[in-house]
Amino acid sequence: MASENVNPNRTIVEEVSNWLKLYRDGTVERSGPPEAGPLLTPVVPYSEPCNGITVHDLTTNPPIRMYLPETDANPSHRLPILLHLHGGGFCVSHPSWALYHEFYAKLSTTLQVSAVLSPVLPLAPEDRLPAAIDAAFSALLWLRSVAIAEVEMTPVVERLHESGDFSRVFLIGDSSGGNLVHEVCARAGAVGPGLLHPIRITGGILLNPGFASSKRSRSELENPQDLFMNLEMIDKLLKLAVPAGGTKDHPYVCPMGEDAPAMEGLNVPPLLVAVTELDLLRDRQLEYYEAMKKAGKEVEMVMSHGMPHVFFLNKFAVEADPVTGERSKELVQEIKKFVESH
């Protein structure tokens, strides 16, 4: 008799272990592995400097989290701006998570930048791609409005307006956020400089991008799986993220595949692709790098040996393991070098 009272709309139609449940009525329940709880805890914004930065949540569309380094509010020269696009398989994560806070706070103080901005991107399956791409591009348009002073000038926005070098905007993204970096760079190149002027995307930084395809790669078959990256996550999250009926061969997932626009025709800025040796998606990342290079694009690659997917976001591993800590420092220095050289 009890089964007669079960709401059929609350039947789970898709589940990604420890991360997501999709119900028949379209609602989504997101969680996370208990072991990862401290890394997924939101960090509240704060206006009193701590460890060299302040953190602000802007009520823009989309909402944006802003990291401001504790520097002279009126520097003698304008500084570049980083626009971060968060990962999570297009389906989970939020820029307020502690794992992002630790890494991007570090970038804010290590790199000579005006600010690091991280828009809150819509998540699939409620908002399938290209919703996240559209939102990321909208964040670029908001940045343009800041440059020409066509937005409400709150104190922190005024500081960005005064100190930011809007001709040196770098897109940076981890995991699926790396895919978004590629897509937004390509879209910006397609519309031309007129729409975004005076914004200029000077470089794109893809950190362990979430490139995949329907055919298993050697790294997917041989590299170790963990809570943050396993084959179930790759298959199910990407299936939920691409446009309905799409596969992992969709250009949003596999921009170097047969279904994607020819890379030779893309107008993209210089790119830095960060690859990790033990990443399940390593081979597809290397394939992307090689395809970009073959297409004549300006692209660099840095390899973190002995490291898994997005290892640099795991604060506990970075702090507890000397090798992981050193690899994270090396990656930050490569990012710094790339920004300073463009």
- DSSP class of residue 88 equals S
Please report how many Cα atoms fall inside a 13 Å half-sphere around the Cα of residue 338, on the Cβ side.
Answer: 29
Using alpha carbons, list the distances in angstroms from residue 88 to 20, 84, 180, 223, 264.
11, 13, 12, 19, 29
134 is annotated as an active-site residue: no
279 is annotated as an active-site residue: yes
135, 94 Cβ separation under 8 angstroms? no
The token pair at 107 is 């970038």
Q: What is the dihedral of CA 84, 89, 95, 98, to 10 degrees?
A: -120
Using alpha carbons, list the distances in angstroms from residue 235 to 33, 222, 240.
18, 16, 9
Please report how many Cα atoms fall inside a 13 Å half-sphere around the Cα of residue 285, on the Cβ side.
Answer: 32
Catalytic residue among 93, 96, 175, 304: 175
Catalytic residue among 108, 163, 217, 279: 279
Which residues participate in catalysis according to the annotation? 175, 279
